[in-house]
Structure 1
Amino acid sequence: MIQRQPSVRSAGNGGQPLGHASLRRANLALVLRHLRDEGPCSRADIADSTGLHRATVSSLMAELLERGLVREVGTERAGAIGRPRRAVALDGSHVGALGMEINVDYIAVHGTDLSGRVLVERRIGFDAMGHGPDRSLVELGRVTRRVIGDMKRAGASPGGIVVGVPGLVDSVRGIVAVAPNLGWHGLPLAERLRAELGALQVPVFVDNDANLAALAEYAFGVAAGTPDMISLTGEVGVGGGIIVGGRLLGGADGFAGEVGHLPVDPAGERCGCGRIGCWETKVGFSALVRVAVRDQTYGLDGAPAPDPDERATEIARDLAAGDRRMADAVAEVGRWLGLGGSILANLFNPRVIVVGGYFARLAEQLIPPAQAELEQLVVAGPAARCRFLASDLGFGAASRGAASMVIDHIMEDPTAIGSAPIAHNIAGQRI
């Protein structure tokens, strides 16, 4: 699991000993993580492995059983003689985690139970940019209510919801500070979505979509476990999630990773953020469509955007058919992708740059020119050993990362399940 350094806000005890409630919560988390990592085992084995007193483990296990987070799965013997030990295992089949993403042209959903069993996964086409924040929140609420119903019918109620948004997010307060490609500013998305859900009373949190995609790549993707990596979203805009030493880089205000707005061409196109020549004006999906298919736009100037996966499939089909203009446009995007990648490689020295979204769908044509450009421009040259890799998580990486964030939080605070609603933030704990 990706490491998260607590934020200043969470370090409120000033180094003093933990209170009883905090200590018990920490011990519950320790036992639950042990079962997740090691699989079914007895109470005595947990005590031996964690250093907790056996009576303490028994008490903790009773609470976890009551909350439905573990279950007894049979007996095991310690050697040829001796009393059988009752084994316990992580359960949580009734506890759900709902991850969502709202982007320019779709809403993605990934719902699982605590064990990671996928309960619901879908992407719904929706013109969020064209509909504006108010109608988008109504639609997001409608989709969320329907998905929660689906999850409950599958036997799990969400213990939390995390929504990914392409923009600058104050994750502690659940506010979208600015999402240029959506045209949102100062939107209290968490509060508004909770209001849309009404009596459902599910905790809601918000984070940057690229950070959530990076969490998914680190946990499940083609470079899973790589301690120094960068994940790039390939959408209308381009976002980046940066992992350094196994930790997600958030920055002083949680706004790190806005790589799509690196200035790369002072004489270039105007970006959705209002500036000239941002990187995403060269490598964003709308930029590719603008160059390759001049009589069409994608996600620009209020034009309705088709499903990005379908549009990427069309482009891949044109490439396979030998469309020369399309091939030249993709190669040009690949070179700009490599140029921006070299800047990131010089700054963060990652081992891999994982490209998702449409980048991954067109990886066969995009990555060779991107890799060549990166190797030419990176200061460390071959010593940097940084390479582009195509994600295999599709356009749902952010929603999958959002669901995993909910699960991580439940693992860190089991008291959030079967008790009062979560009273502190899931997101926002980064370097």
Structure 2
Amino acid sequence: MTLTDGRRPGSRGVAADHVSLRRNNLSVVLRHVRDLGPRSRARIADETGLNKATVSSLVAELVDRGLLREGPADSSRALGRPGQLVELDGTGVCGVGAEINVDYLAVAALDLAGDVVLEKRVPVDVAHLEPGTTLDRLAELVREAVDAVEARSGELAGVTLAVPGLVQGETGELKLAPNLGWGEVSVAQEMRTRLGDPGYPLHVENEANLAALAAYAELHRTEDDRSGGVPHDLVLLTGAVGVGGGIVSNGHLLHGGAGYSGEVGHMPVAPPGRTCGCGRTGCWETVVGLTALLHKATDRDDPVRDPSLDVEQRLAGITRRAEAGDARTLSALKDVGTWLGIGGAILVNILNPDVLVLGGYFAVLGPWLKEPLEKAIQERVIAPDGGGCRVVRSELGFAAAVRGGAQISLDQVFVDPTRIGAAS
């Protein structure tokens, strides 16, 4: 007997198809529990369309791999014997995200349930260091996070590095990071060497893209029907010295043809004036970046301009002045908020996102930036009511990129649960 495609039962191709099908079904069940919460085996079977025997086998393997665990009895059943719930475990599976930014390095380790195992940020004047020195320091932070995972007997799903520039995703090469002064740096290979050619996956991604994914996950945890439901499309604007954007469409990150999307800080929307880090004038970030705000709000010798201070300490100083009603600070914030809305309106006109998310320093100073931003959007977006786009502040602050990096690594476990553990 032969199959319809000419293969014989028991052939290598049939075995491969069986393995692929089971891997896919493991993913379906694991993602179903992640997205919808604890479920009985019978309910999982009913909701996914898989038969009960298959679900029982899949759940048993996922429990064996440490990805699901037995929960309490299913109290929702009104009749009959209550089923046993299964819920996401993953406390022994972690992902690590690490970030290089202009004035800090950061790292975070999350477990499969999204709980923080370690999170750390250190002020570093990266723009004035050689790339090798910065990567040495970043490697120290990554090793610290990996040690924290191993200390809890955890298995590492992978490490994702966030950098503020153009990244070639397949090779992990940083093509250009204007505000760092870096170009053509093989970040992935350099880090693999520093980490001793580790066995876990290591990837490099643009920091705004990772922050956008973290913001998307954040909104799906916190939004409800009163706010219009969870968004499917969003644009995240993240600001520090540079300004970046991440675009999520229908739940998927938009990379663009060559992977270079999101460089919104270099849209030529501002009048010629201060030179941007990219060497051009008129870039959006020259009027909305943190440097632009500090130039407007402070004098040259003001402590909040000191890059050796943690960025949150510097922003706390600006916040105190705004709360105290300092006229110069409030004027600077209004000006930056208006320019933020002018550029934001361009993005809303082109992309029509459900939500425009403020991240980075924009989120910290959002109470003063949001009103002029929304006013500019209402005035400049051609669609009625600003195209239905809401402006929200992310609560993740400067941890967004490292959280997103850790989540990217963990997402691969949901795609292929057989990466983790060994079923008995």
Question: Which TM-score band applies after superposition, normalised by the shorter structure?
Answer: 0.7 to 0.9
CA spacing shift, 1:198–1:53, aligned 2, 3 Å:
same
Query: How far apart, CA to CA, are the structure 2 residues paired with 1:187 and 1:252?
Result: 21
* SS of alignment partner, residue 253 of structure 1: coil
Opposite residue 268 of structure 1, the aligned amino acid is G
For residues 413 and 117 of structure 1, the distance between their equivalents in structure 2, rounded to whole angstroms, comes to 21
Structure 1 contact 338–374 (Cα < 8 Å) conserved: yes
Aligned residues: 401
Deviations 1:97-119 (A, max 9, x none): 11222111112222111112211
**Range moving further from structure 2, 195-204 or 120-129:** 195-204
CA 1:43–1:334: 2 relative to 1, 3 Å: closer
Give the equivalent residue in structure 1 for 2:418.
415
Contact 2:158/2:201 (CA < 8 Å) preserved in 1?
yes
Q: Counterparts in 2 of 1:10-159, with a 5 A limit? A: 19-73=17-71, 87-159=85-157
Which amino acid in 2 is paired with 1:121? E
**1:13-412 correspondence runs (5 A):** 19-73=17-71, 87-198=85-196, 200-221=198-219, 225-296=230-301, 304-382=307-385, 384-412=387-415
Displacement of 1:401: 1.5
- Cα gap change, 1:112/1:383 in structure 2, threshold over 3 Å: closer, same or farther? closer
Q: CA offset at residue 298 of structure 1?
A: 9.9
Aligned partners of 2:123 and 2:307 also within 8 Å: no
The amino acid of 1:345's aligned partner reads: V
Whether the 8 Å CA contact 2:211–2:401 is kept in 1: the answer is: yes
Shift in CA distance, 80/232, structure 1 to aligned 2, threshold 3 Å: closer
Question: Structure 1 residues 287-296 or 46-55, which shifts more?
Answer: 46-55
How big is the shift at 1:37? 3.0
When residues 333 and 81 of structure 1 are mapped into structure 2, their CA distance, relative to the original with a 3 A threshold, is closer
Q: Could you say if the C-alpha distance between residues 363 and 51 of structure 1 is closer, same or farther in structure 2, counting changes exceeding 3 Å?
A: closer
Q: CA RMSD in A?
A: 2.7
Task: Give SS of 1:206's match.
Answer: strand
1:10-39 alpha-carbon deviations (Å, 9 max, x no partner): xxxxxxx98333222111101211222344
In the alignment, the residues of structure 1 paired with residue 72 and residue 392 of structure 2 have an alpha-carbon distance, to the nearest angstrom, of: 44
Cα drift, residue 413 of structure 1:
0.9
Structure 1 position 337, deviation (Å): 0.8
CA distance, structure 2, for counterparts of residue 291 and residue 69 of structure 1: 51
Equivalent residue letter for 1:278: C
Gaps of 5+ in 1: 1-16, 420-431
- For the residue of structure 1 that corresponds to 2:340, the secondary structure is helix
The amino acid across from 2:261 in the alignment is A
Is there any run of 5+ residues in structure 2 with no aligned partner, and where? 1-14, 224-228
Residues 48-80 of structure 1: per-residue CA shift (max 9 Å, x gap)? 332334443344334323322223346669876
Q: TM-score, normalised to structure 1's length?
A: 0.85
Change (3 A) 1:179 1:43: same
- 2:6 paired residue number: none
Q: Is the 8 A contact 1:105 1:299 kept in 2?
A: no
Aligned to 1:181, what secondary structure does the other structure show? coil
Deviation (angstroms), 1:231: 0.8
Greater CA drift, 220-229 or 397-406 = 220-229
Aligned CA distance change for structure 1 residues 34 and 391 (closer, same or farther; 3 Å): closer
Q: Percent identity?
A: 46
In 1, Cα distance between equivalents of 2:215 and 2:322: 27
- Give the letter aligned to residue 402 of structure 1: G
Shift of 1:152: 2.1
Q: Tell me, in whole angstroms, the C-alpha distance in 2 between the residues paired with 1:91 and 1:351.
A: 32
Q: 1:53 to 1:290 in 2, by over 3 A?
A: same
What SS does the aligned partner of 2:239 have? coil
Residue 213 of structure 1: CA displacement?
1.1
**Per-residue displacement from partner, 1:342-367 (whole Å, max 9, x unpaired)?**
11111112233211221122222222
- Which 10-residue stretch deviates more, 95-104 or 63-72? 63-72
How many angstroms apart in 2 are the aligned matches of 1:400 and 1:200? 21
How far does residue 254 in structure 1 lie from its aligned partner after superposition?
1.5
Q: Which amino acid aligns with 2:18?
A: H
Give the partner amino acid of 1:163. L
**TM-score for the superposition, normalised by structure 2:** 0.86
Cα deviation 1:107-144 (Å, max 9, x = unaligned): 22221111122111221112222212111111111111
The residue identity in structure 1 corresponding to 2:383 is A
| CA distance 1:369–1:80, shift in 2 (3 Å) | closer
Residues 382 and 59 (structure 1 numbering): CA distance in 2 closer, same or farther, change over 3 Å?
closer
Structure-2 change in CA distance of 1:306 and 1:157 (3 Å):
same
